[in-house]
Amino acid sequence: MKLFFSPPSSDDLIRLLKAWRFWLVSALVGAVIGAAVYYIAPPPYRARATVNVDFHIEQAWPKDTDRQQFYFLERETRKLEEIAWSDEVLNTAATQAADDTFTADSGKLQLGQPGNGGWHFYADDPDPKKAATFASAWAQAFAEKVKADVANPSSGLEQYITADATQTQNLTAHRSVSLSMYLLAGSLIFLAVSAFSILFFDLRK
C-alpha cells in the first residue's frame, strides 16, 4: 500500500486511466446499490404549498433610500418568519389537518424563499396525503394570521403587507429525493472507491 500523502506517479495515473472497465463496473454496482437503498428505505414524500407575500414597499417607503428599504424588508421578513414558525400558526395548522406530528422540531417542515414573492411551505411525511394536507393547512394558517396581524395596529406588522394563499389546494406530494439522485450518488461513491483502490493498491498482485 502506498503512502496516503505521497502524490501519485505517472505510472499510477496511466494505470488509473487504463482501468476504465473497472470504473464502469463500479459505477453500475454503485447505481444498483443506490436503487436498492431507495426502494428499501425510501425518502419521505414532500408537498409544497405557496403563499404570495407582497410588502408593497413603494407604498410603505415611497421616497426613502434603498438602504432604508433594505432594512425595512429585512425587519418585516423576520417578523413573518416568526409568525410562520409560531406555536399559534402551527397549532392552527395541526387542528385543521387533524395531525399533531408536524412540529417545528420534528424535521418534517421547511420554509423556503422568505422575502418579497412566493413563500413555499414544505411538509415531509411517509404518507403523501398527510404531507399535502399539512402543507396546505400550514400555508393557509400563515396567510390568515398575517392578514389578522396587518389589520391589528398593535401587532407591530407593517399595514401594507399582504399574504395570499395561491397554491394550497389539490397538492401533489413527491419523494423529497428522486431516484436519479440515489443512482448518481451511488455511482459517484463507488467511482471514488474504485479510483482510490487503483491508486493505492496494485490489484494485479
**pLDDT tops 60 at residue 7:** no
Give the three cell numbers for residue 111: 420554509
136: confidence class by pLDDT, cuts 50, 70, 90: very high
Give residue 190's domain range.
10-41+179-200
Q: Are residues 118 and 195 in the same domain?
A: no
Give the three cell numbers for residue 119: 413563500
Q: What would the pLDDT profile of 190-202 be if each residue is shown by its tens digit?
A: 888 877 776 666 5
Other beta carbons within 10 Å of 16:
16
Percent over 90 (pLDDT), the chain: 63
Q: What would the pLDDT profile of 77-112 be if each residue is shown by its tens digit?
A: 999 999 999 999 999 999 999 999 999 999 999 999
Q: Are residues 188 and 119 in the same domain?
A: no
**pLDDT tops 50 at residue 28:** yes
Q: Is 195 a domain residue?
A: yes
Angstrom distance (rounded) from CA 124 to CA 102: 9
Other beta carbons within 10 Å of 123:
30
The pTM is what?
0.83
Other beta carbons within 10 Å of 64:
12
Q: Is 4 a domain residue?
A: no
Residue 101 backbone zone (phi > 0: left; psi -120 to 50: alpha; other: beta): alpha
Give the three cell numbers for residue 203: 490489484
Q: Are residues 106 and 195 in the same domain?
A: no
pLDDT at 12: 62
56: confidence class by pLDDT, cuts 50, 70, 90: confident
Cα 38 to chain centroid, rounded: 18
Q: Are residues 99 and 138 in the same domain?
A: yes
Q: Is 205 a domain residue?
A: no
Q: Is 132 a domain residue?
A: yes
More confident call, 73 vs 65: 73
Mean per-residue pLDDT of the chain: 87
Q: How many CA atoms lie within 13 A of 24 on its CB side?
A: 5
**pLDDT tops 70 at residue 173:** yes
Q: Are residues 26 and 125 in the same domain?
A: no
Q: What is the CATH number of the domain that holds 120?
A: 3.30.70
Selection from 73, 37, 66 nearest residue 182 by Cα = 37
More confident call, 8 vs 39: 39
Angstrom distance (rounded) from CA 199 to CA 201: 6
Angstrom distance (rounded) from CA 124 to CA 44: 6
Q: What is the mean pLDDT of residues 24-28?
A: 86
**Tally of structural domains, the chain:** 2
Q: What would the pLDDT profile of 160-172 be if each residue is shown by its tens digit?
A: 899 999 999 999 9
Q: Is 2 a domain residue?
A: no
Q: Are residues 151 and 189 in the same domain?
A: no
Q: Is 3 a domain residue?
A: no
Q: Are residues 56 and 133 in the same domain?
A: yes
Reduce the DSSP state of residue 146 to 3 states and report it. helix
pLDDT at 95: 97
Q: What would the pLDDT profile of 116-130 be if each residue is shown by its tens digit?
A: 889 999 999 999 999
